[in-house]
Protein backbone atom coordinates (compact mmCIF):
# COMPACT_ATOMS: atom_id res chain seq x y z
CA UNK A 1 0.00 0.00 0.00
CA UNK A 2 1.33 3.46 -0.85
CA UNK A 3 1.71 6.35 1.60
CA UNK A 4 -1.66 7.95 0.80
CA UNK A 5 -3.43 4.61 1.29
CA UNK A 6 -1.78 3.99 4.65
CA UNK A 7 -2.68 7.48 5.86
CA UNK A 8 -6.31 7.10 4.72
CA UNK A 9 -6.55 3.80 6.64
CA UNK A 10 -5.13 5.45 9.74
CA UNK A 11 -7.61 8.34 9.51
CA UNK A 12 -10.48 5.86 9.08
CA UNK A 13 -9.32 4.06 12.22
CA UNK A 14 -9.26 7.33 14.18
CA UNK A 15 -12.81 8.11 13.02
CA UNK A 16 -14.03 4.65 14.03
CA UNK A 17 -12.52 5.08 17.51
CA UNK A 18 -13.92 8.62 17.99
CA UNK A 19 -10.38 10.00 18.02
CA UNK A 20 -10.48 12.02 14.82
CA UNK A 21 -9.71 15.68 15.49
CA UNK A 22 -10.81 18.75 13.58
CA UNK A 23 -9.82 22.37 14.10
CA UNK A 24 -12.67 24.31 15.76
CA UNK A 25 -13.96 27.40 14.01
CA UNK A 26 -13.37 30.35 16.33
CA UNK A 27 -14.88 33.67 15.29
CA UNK A 28 -13.33 35.82 17.99
CA UNK A 29 -13.52 36.59 21.71
CA UNK A 30 -15.33 39.15 23.80
CA UNK A 31 -14.29 39.04 27.42
CA UNK A 32 -15.22 35.71 28.98
CA UNK A 33 -17.06 34.65 25.85
CA UNK A 34 -15.94 33.05 22.61
CA UNK A 35 -17.74 33.00 19.27
CA UNK A 36 -17.97 29.59 17.62
CA UNK A 37 -20.41 28.26 15.04
CA UNK A 38 -22.23 31.56 15.00
CA UNK A 39 -22.92 31.36 18.75
CA UNK A 40 -21.62 33.19 21.81
CA UNK A 41 -20.37 30.68 24.41
CA UNK A 42 -18.81 31.01 27.85
CA UNK A 43 -15.15 30.16 27.31
CA UNK A 44 -14.13 27.26 29.55
CA UNK A 45 -11.31 25.98 27.34
CA UNK A 46 -8.89 28.89 27.64
CA UNK A 47 -5.63 29.02 29.59
CA UNK A 48 -6.12 32.77 30.18
CA UNK A 49 -6.60 31.91 33.84
CA UNK A 50 -6.51 35.50 35.16
CA UNK A 51 -8.49 37.05 32.31
CA UNK A 52 -5.64 39.41 31.40
CA UNK A 53 -5.86 38.53 27.70
CA UNK A 54 -9.43 39.78 27.52
CA UNK A 55 -8.85 42.96 29.53
CA UNK A 56 -9.43 45.44 26.70
CA UNK A 57 -8.63 48.53 28.77
CA UNK A 58 -5.29 47.03 29.79
CA UNK A 59 -4.49 46.19 26.16
CA UNK A 60 -5.45 49.71 25.06
CA UNK A 61 -3.20 51.26 27.70
CA UNK A 62 -0.32 49.18 26.34
CA UNK A 63 -0.93 50.01 22.70
CA UNK A 64 -1.33 53.72 23.50
CA UNK A 65 2.23 53.83 24.87
CA UNK A 66 3.72 52.69 21.56
CA UNK A 67 6.43 54.79 19.94
CA UNK A 68 7.15 53.56 16.43
CA UNK A 69 10.39 55.52 16.17
CA UNK A 70 11.99 53.76 19.16
CA UNK A 71 11.67 50.23 17.77
CA UNK A 72 10.37 49.01 21.13
CA UNK A 73 7.07 48.02 19.55
CA UNK A 74 8.33 46.54 16.28
CA UNK A 75 6.24 43.64 14.96
CA UNK A 76 9.24 41.48 14.05
CA UNK A 77 12.76 40.80 15.25
CA UNK A 78 13.83 39.37 11.86
CA UNK A 79 16.68 37.39 13.36
CA UNK A 80 17.78 35.03 16.10
CA UNK A 81 18.88 36.38 19.47
CA UNK A 82 22.50 35.56 18.67
CA UNK A 83 22.38 37.84 15.62
CA UNK A 84 20.28 41.03 15.63
CA UNK A 85 17.18 39.78 17.44
CA UNK A 86 18.35 40.28 21.03
CA UNK A 87 16.31 43.45 21.59
CA UNK A 88 16.94 45.41 24.77
CA UNK A 89 13.53 44.36 26.07
CA UNK A 90 14.84 40.80 26.41
CA UNK A 91 17.38 42.02 28.94
CA UNK A 92 14.77 44.06 30.78
CA UNK A 93 12.26 41.25 31.19
CA UNK A 94 14.96 38.70 32.11
CA UNK A 95 16.24 41.06 34.79
CA UNK A 96 12.71 41.41 36.18
CA UNK A 97 12.24 37.63 36.19
CA UNK A 98 15.53 36.93 37.96
CA UNK A 99 14.84 39.59 40.59
CA UNK A 100 11.28 38.35 41.10
CA UNK A 101 12.41 34.78 41.75
CA UNK A 102 15.52 36.00 43.63
CA UNK A 103 17.77 33.90 41.42
CA UNK A 104 20.91 34.68 39.43
CA UNK A 105 19.55 34.40 35.93
CA UNK A 106 16.59 34.04 33.61
CA UNK A 107 16.31 33.19 29.92
CA UNK A 108 13.32 33.85 27.66
CA UNK A 109 12.36 31.28 25.01
CA UNK A 110 9.93 31.41 22.08
CA UNK A 111 7.54 28.89 23.62
CA UNK A 112 7.18 26.31 26.36
CA UNK A 113 7.55 23.63 23.72
CA UNK A 114 10.87 25.14 22.64
CA UNK A 115 12.02 25.22 26.26
CA UNK A 116 11.09 21.62 27.04
CA UNK A 117 12.48 20.15 23.83
CA UNK A 118 15.74 22.06 24.23
CA UNK A 119 16.77 22.14 27.88
CA UNK A 120 17.18 18.41 28.60
CA UNK A 121 18.99 17.63 25.32
CA UNK A 122 21.40 20.50 26.04
CA UNK A 123 22.15 19.61 29.66
CA UNK A 124 22.24 15.81 29.56
CA UNK A 125 24.43 13.28 27.81
CA UNK A 126 24.49 9.55 27.22
CA UNK A 127 26.08 8.86 30.62
CA UNK A 128 23.21 10.57 32.46
CA UNK A 129 19.64 9.53 33.27
CA UNK A 130 16.35 11.44 33.04
CA UNK A 131 13.47 10.51 35.35
CA UNK A 132 10.14 11.94 34.21
CA UNK A 133 6.67 11.81 35.74
CA UNK A 134 4.55 9.51 33.57
CA UNK A 135 1.92 12.18 32.95
CA UNK A 136 4.29 14.99 32.00
CA UNK A 137 3.34 17.10 29.00
CA UNK A 138 4.16 15.92 25.48
CA UNK A 139 6.82 18.64 25.15
CA UNK A 140 8.74 17.16 28.09
CA UNK A 141 8.40 13.66 26.69
CA UNK A 142 9.71 14.88 23.34
CA UNK A 143 12.65 16.56 25.09
CA UNK A 144 13.44 13.24 26.77
CA UNK A 145 13.31 11.44 23.43
CA UNK A 146 15.58 13.95 21.71
CA UNK A 147 18.18 13.84 24.49
CA UNK A 148 21.06 11.36 24.25
CA UNK A 149 20.51 10.39 27.88
CA UNK A 150 18.28 7.38 28.55
CA UNK A 151 15.06 8.20 30.32
CA UNK A 152 12.57 6.37 32.49
CA UNK A 153 9.12 7.43 33.61
CA UNK A 154 8.07 7.02 37.23
CA UNK A 155 4.42 6.40 38.12
CA UNK A 156 2.40 9.58 38.34
CA UNK A 157 3.08 11.37 41.64
CA UNK A 158 4.52 8.13 43.04
CA UNK A 159 7.64 9.39 44.80
CA UNK A 160 8.42 6.02 46.37
CA UNK A 161 8.75 4.67 42.82
CA UNK A 162 10.89 7.68 41.92
CA UNK A 163 13.15 7.02 44.90
CA UNK A 164 13.60 3.40 43.91
CA UNK A 165 14.75 4.54 40.45
CA UNK A 166 17.11 7.05 42.05
CA UNK A 167 18.63 4.30 44.17
CA UNK A 168 19.12 2.11 41.10
CA UNK A 169 20.90 4.93 39.30
CA UNK A 170 23.14 5.93 42.19
CA UNK A 171 26.17 3.95 40.99
CA UNK A 172 25.59 4.02 37.25
CA UNK A 173 24.44 7.47 36.12
CA UNK A 174 26.82 10.43 35.99
CA UNK A 175 23.94 12.85 36.67
CA UNK A 176 20.24 12.18 37.26
CA UNK A 177 17.68 14.75 36.11
CA UNK A 178 14.19 14.77 37.64
CA UNK A 179 11.59 16.59 35.57
CA UNK A 180 7.97 17.26 36.49
CA UNK A 181 5.10 19.59 35.88
CA UNK A 182 3.92 21.48 38.94
CA UNK A 183 0.24 21.57 37.93
CA UNK A 184 -0.50 18.75 35.49
CA UNK A 185 -2.22 20.04 32.41
CA UNK A 186 -4.73 17.22 31.84
CA UNK A 187 -5.45 16.08 35.41
CA UNK A 188 -5.19 19.41 37.23
CA UNK A 189 -3.41 17.78 40.17
CA UNK A 190 -0.19 19.05 41.73
CA UNK A 191 3.30 17.73 42.35
CA UNK A 192 4.64 17.47 45.89
CA UNK A 193 7.53 19.89 45.47
CA UNK A 194 8.68 19.51 49.08
CA UNK A 195 9.18 15.78 48.56
CA UNK A 196 10.87 16.30 45.21
CA UNK A 197 13.31 18.80 46.70
CA UNK A 198 14.06 16.34 49.51
CA UNK A 199 14.81 13.58 46.98
CA UNK A 200 16.90 15.97 44.89
CA UNK A 201 19.07 16.78 47.91
CA UNK A 202 19.36 13.17 49.09
CA UNK A 203 20.45 11.77 45.73
CA UNK A 204 22.25 14.77 44.23
CA UNK A 205 19.78 15.04 41.35
CA UNK A 206 19.06 18.06 39.16
CA UNK A 207 15.41 19.11 39.51
CA UNK A 208 13.49 20.81 36.69
CA UNK A 209 9.91 21.97 37.39
CA UNK A 210 7.58 23.11 34.61
CA UNK A 211 5.24 25.77 36.03
CA UNK A 212 3.28 26.27 32.79
CA UNK A 213 -0.09 25.92 34.55
CA UNK A 214 1.14 26.98 37.99
CA UNK A 215 2.65 30.38 37.15
CA UNK A 216 0.07 33.08 37.68
CA UNK A 217 -2.37 30.76 39.43
CA UNK A 218 -0.48 29.86 42.62
CA UNK A 219 1.71 31.85 45.00
CA UNK A 220 1.17 35.28 46.51
CA UNK A 221 2.94 37.01 43.61
CA UNK A 222 2.10 34.38 41.00
CA UNK A 223 5.44 32.55 40.73
CA UNK A 224 3.51 29.30 40.89
CA UNK A 225 3.45 26.21 43.05
CA UNK A 226 7.14 26.69 43.87
CA UNK A 227 6.26 29.94 45.66
CA UNK A 228 3.19 28.47 47.34
CA UNK A 229 5.34 25.55 48.58
CA UNK A 230 8.26 27.75 49.65
CA UNK A 231 10.62 25.83 47.36
CA UNK A 232 11.70 28.45 44.84
CA UNK A 233 15.32 28.51 45.93
CA UNK A 234 15.63 24.72 46.09
CA UNK A 235 14.66 23.96 42.47
CA UNK A 236 17.56 23.89 40.01
CA UNK A 237 15.54 25.14 37.06
CA UNK A 238 11.99 26.51 36.87
CA UNK A 239 10.28 26.75 33.49
CA UNK A 240 7.29 29.04 33.06
CA UNK A 241 5.23 30.26 30.16
CA UNK A 242 3.85 33.61 29.08
CA UNK A 243 1.19 31.88 26.96
CA UNK A 244 -1.27 30.97 29.71
CA UNK A 245 -2.01 33.05 32.82
CA UNK A 246 0.32 35.81 31.56
CA UNK A 247 -1.76 36.18 28.36
CA UNK A 248 1.10 36.52 25.91
CA UNK A 249 3.41 34.16 24.02
CA UNK A 250 6.81 32.71 24.87
CA UNK A 251 8.34 31.05 27.90
CA UNK A 252 11.14 31.52 30.42
CA UNK A 253 13.61 29.58 32.51
CA UNK A 254 14.84 30.54 35.99
CA UNK A 255 18.32 29.26 36.78
CA UNK A 256 21.85 30.10 37.88
CA UNK A 257 24.01 32.08 35.47
CA UNK A 258 26.23 29.06 34.81
CA UNK A 259 23.34 27.15 33.24
CA UNK A 260 22.02 30.23 31.47
CA UNK A 261 25.36 30.72 29.72
CA UNK A 262 25.47 27.04 28.81
CA UNK A 263 21.99 27.04 27.27
CA UNK A 264 22.75 30.15 25.23
CA UNK A 265 25.68 28.24 23.73
CA UNK A 266 24.18 24.77 23.32
CA UNK A 267 20.36 24.78 23.26
CA UNK A 268 19.34 24.24 19.64
CA UNK A 269 15.71 25.55 19.81
CA UNK A 270 17.14 28.72 21.36
CA UNK A 271 20.02 29.20 18.93
CA UNK A 272 18.30 28.34 15.66
CA UNK A 273 15.05 30.28 15.80
CA UNK A 274 13.92 33.83 15.10
CA UNK A 275 13.58 35.90 18.26
CA UNK A 276 10.26 37.12 19.59
CA UNK A 277 9.21 40.56 18.29
CA UNK A 278 9.67 43.55 20.62
CA UNK A 279 5.92 44.26 20.68
CA UNK A 280 5.38 40.81 22.27
CA UNK A 281 8.21 41.26 24.78
CA UNK A 282 6.77 44.59 25.90
CA UNK A 283 3.32 43.10 26.36
CA UNK A 284 4.75 40.11 28.28
CA UNK A 285 6.52 42.45 30.66
CA UNK A 286 3.38 44.51 31.29
CA UNK A 287 1.24 41.41 31.87
CA UNK A 288 3.89 39.87 34.13
CA UNK A 289 4.04 42.96 36.32
CA UNK A 290 0.25 43.29 36.41
CA UNK A 291 -0.35 39.74 37.62
CA UNK A 292 2.08 40.09 40.52
CA UNK A 293 -0.59 42.03 42.42
CA UNK A 294 -3.52 39.74 41.52
CA UNK A 295 -3.42 37.51 44.60
CA UNK A 296 -7.12 38.05 45.35
CA UNK A 297 -7.98 36.84 41.83
CA UNK A 298 -5.80 33.77 42.33
CA UNK A 299 -7.56 32.90 45.56
CA UNK A 300 -10.98 33.41 43.96
CA UNK A 301 -9.96 31.18 41.04
CA UNK A 302 -8.91 28.28 43.27
CA UNK A 303 -11.98 28.67 45.49
CA UNK A 304 -14.24 28.57 42.42
CA UNK A 305 -12.53 25.40 41.18
CA UNK A 306 -12.91 23.66 44.52
CA UNK A 307 -16.61 24.53 44.64
CA UNK A 308 -17.15 23.12 41.15
CA UNK A 309 -15.30 19.89 42.01
CA UNK A 310 -17.49 19.41 45.08
CA UNK A 311 -20.68 20.02 43.09
CA UNK A 312 -19.63 17.56 40.36
CA UNK A 313 -18.63 14.91 42.90
CA UNK A 314 -22.01 15.32 44.61
CA UNK A 315 -23.66 14.35 41.32
CA UNK A 316 -21.55 11.18 41.18
CA UNK A 317 -18.89 12.25 38.67
CA UNK A 318 -15.25 11.18 38.83
CA UNK A 319 -13.49 14.51 39.24
CA UNK A 320 -9.74 14.96 39.55
CA UNK A 321 -7.41 17.82 40.33
CA UNK A 322 -6.67 20.44 42.93
CA UNK A 323 -6.22 23.48 40.72
CA UNK A 324 -8.06 25.72 38.26
CA UNK A 325 -8.13 22.78 35.81
CA UNK A 326 -11.18 20.61 36.51
CA UNK A 327 -11.26 17.37 34.46
CA UNK A 328 -14.47 15.34 34.53
CA UNK A 329 -13.67 11.74 33.59
CA UNK A 330 -16.27 10.29 31.20
CA UNK A 331 -14.37 7.11 30.29
CA UNK A 332 -15.17 6.36 26.66
CA UNK A 333 -14.45 8.69 23.77
CA UNK A 334 -18.07 8.85 22.64
CA UNK A 335 -19.29 9.83 26.12
CA UNK A 336 -16.74 12.64 26.33
CA UNK A 337 -17.72 13.91 22.89
CA UNK A 338 -21.43 13.82 23.74
CA UNK A 339 -20.84 15.63 27.03
CA UNK A 340 -18.90 18.38 25.24
CA UNK A 341 -21.64 18.76 22.61
CA UNK A 342 -24.33 18.98 25.28
CA UNK A 343 -22.44 21.66 27.20
CA UNK A 344 -21.87 23.63 24.00
CA UNK A 345 -25.59 23.44 23.27
CA UNK A 346 -26.18 24.93 26.71
CA UNK A 347 -23.76 27.81 26.09
CA UNK A 348 -20.44 26.49 27.45
CA UNK A 349 -17.38 26.14 25.20
CA UNK A 350 -15.86 22.92 26.55
CA UNK A 351 -13.85 20.40 24.54
CA UNK A 352 -13.43 16.64 24.88
CA UNK A 353 -9.92 15.35 25.59
CA UNK A 354 -9.25 11.84 24.30
CA UNK A 355 -6.35 9.38 24.00
CA UNK A 356 -3.50 9.57 23.22
CA UNK A 357 -3.54 12.95 25.01
CA UNK A 358 -4.81 11.09 28.09
CA UNK A 359 -4.60 7.36 28.99
CA UNK A 360 -6.98 4.83 27.47
CA UNK A 361 -10.50 4.81 28.92
CA UNK A 362 -10.04 8.16 30.67
CA UNK A 363 -11.53 10.45 28.00
CA UNK A 364 -12.81 13.57 29.68
CA UNK A 365 -14.06 17.07 29.42
CA UNK A 366 -11.50 19.52 30.70
CA UNK A 367 -12.88 22.67 32.30
CA UNK A 368 -10.37 25.53 32.51
CA UNK A 369 -11.63 28.17 34.90
CA UNK A 370 -10.82 31.88 34.87
CA UNK A 371 -10.64 34.43 37.64
CA UNK A 372 -13.23 36.65 35.92
CA UNK A 373 -15.95 34.00 36.33
CA UNK A 374 -18.46 33.73 39.16
CA UNK A 375 -20.27 30.72 40.57
CA UNK A 376 -23.48 31.83 38.83
CA UNK A 377 -21.66 31.55 35.49
CA UNK A 378 -20.91 27.84 35.91
CA UNK A 379 -23.36 26.52 38.53
CA UNK A 380 -25.53 24.71 35.93
CA UNK A 381 -22.70 22.47 34.65
CA UNK A 382 -23.15 19.56 37.12
CA UNK A 383 -26.91 19.49 36.46
CA UNK A 384 -26.42 19.56 32.66
CA UNK A 385 -23.92 16.70 32.79
CA UNK A 386 -26.13 14.63 35.07
CA UNK A 387 -29.06 15.05 32.68
* Pair 20, 100 in one domain: no
- pTM of the entire predicted model: 0.94
Examine residue 74 and state whether it is found in any structural domain, yes or no. no
CA distance 144 to 137: 11
Q: Please name the residues in contact with 341: beta carbons below 8 A apart, sequence gap of 6 or more.
A: none
260 and 314 belong to one structural domain = no
275, 291, 307 - which closes a domain: 291
Say if residues 369 and 324 touch (Cβ distance below 8 Å).
Answer: yes
Distance of CA 362 to the CA centre of its chain: 20
Cα distances (Å, whole numbers) of residue 280 to 54, 151, 210, 285, 298: 16, 35, 22, 9, 24
Secondary-structure breakdown of the chain: helix, strand, coil percentages, each rounded to the nearest 5: 40, 20, 40
Task: Give the chain's domain count.
Answer: 2
Q: How far is CA 109 from CA 100, 132, 213, 259, 373, in A?
A: 18, 22, 17, 14, 31
Q: Please tell me whether residues 112 and 242 are part of one structural domain.
A: yes
- Give Cα 148 distance to the centre of its chain: 25
Same domain, 39 and 143: no
| Residue 71 lies inside a defined structural domain of this protein | no
| Same structural domain, 184 and 285 | yes
Asked whether residue 179 falls in the same domain as residue 138, the answer is yes
243 and 105 share one domain: yes
- Asked if residue 75 is part of any domain, the answer here is no
Q: Residue 381 falls within a domain, yes or no?
A: yes
Whether 251 is in a domain gets the answer yes
Residue at a domain's end among 291, 323, 344: 291
Is 73 part of a structural domain of the chain?
A: no
Domain that holds residue 347: 15-44+295-386
Residues 257 and 329 in one domain: no
| Residue 354, domain CATH | 3.90.1150.10
d(CA 220, CA 205): 28
Residue ending a domain, choose from 261, 291, 321: 291
Same domain? For 193 and 274 the reply is yes
CATH of the domain at 122: 3.40.640.10
Q: Domain check: are 315 and 377 in the same one? A: yes
Same domain, residue pair 96 and 241: yes
In order along its 387 residues, the chain shows pLDDT tens digits of 799 999 999 999 999 999 999 998 888 877 789 998 889 999 999 999 999 999 999 999 998 886 655 677 889 999 999 999 999 999 999 999 999 999 999 999 999 999 999 999 999 999 999 999 999 999 999 999 999 999 999 999 999 999 999 999 999 999 999 999 999 999 999 999 999 999 999 999 999 999 999 999 999 999 999 999 999 999 999 999 999 999 999 999 999 999 999 999 999 999 999 999 999 999 999 999 999 999 999 999 999 999 999 999 999 998 989 999 999 999 999 999 999 999 999 999 999 999 998 999 999 999 999 999 999 999 999 999 998
Is 263 within a domain?
yes
Pairing mode of beta strands 206-210, 176-181: parallel
Query: Domain for residue 111, yes or no?
Result: yes
Residues 270 and 319 reside in one and the same domain: no
Pairing of strands 348-349, 325-331: unpaired
Amino acid sequence: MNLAGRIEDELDRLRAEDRFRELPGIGGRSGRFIHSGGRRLLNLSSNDYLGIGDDRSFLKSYLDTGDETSGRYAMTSSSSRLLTGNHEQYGEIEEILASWYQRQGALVFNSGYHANTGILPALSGRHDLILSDRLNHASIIDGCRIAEAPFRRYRHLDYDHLESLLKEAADSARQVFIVTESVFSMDGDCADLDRLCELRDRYGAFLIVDEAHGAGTFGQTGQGLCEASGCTGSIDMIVGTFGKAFASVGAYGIMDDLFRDYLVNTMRPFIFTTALPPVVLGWSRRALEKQMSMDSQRRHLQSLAERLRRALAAEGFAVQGESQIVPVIMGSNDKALLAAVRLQQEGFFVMAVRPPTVPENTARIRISLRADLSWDDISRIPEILKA
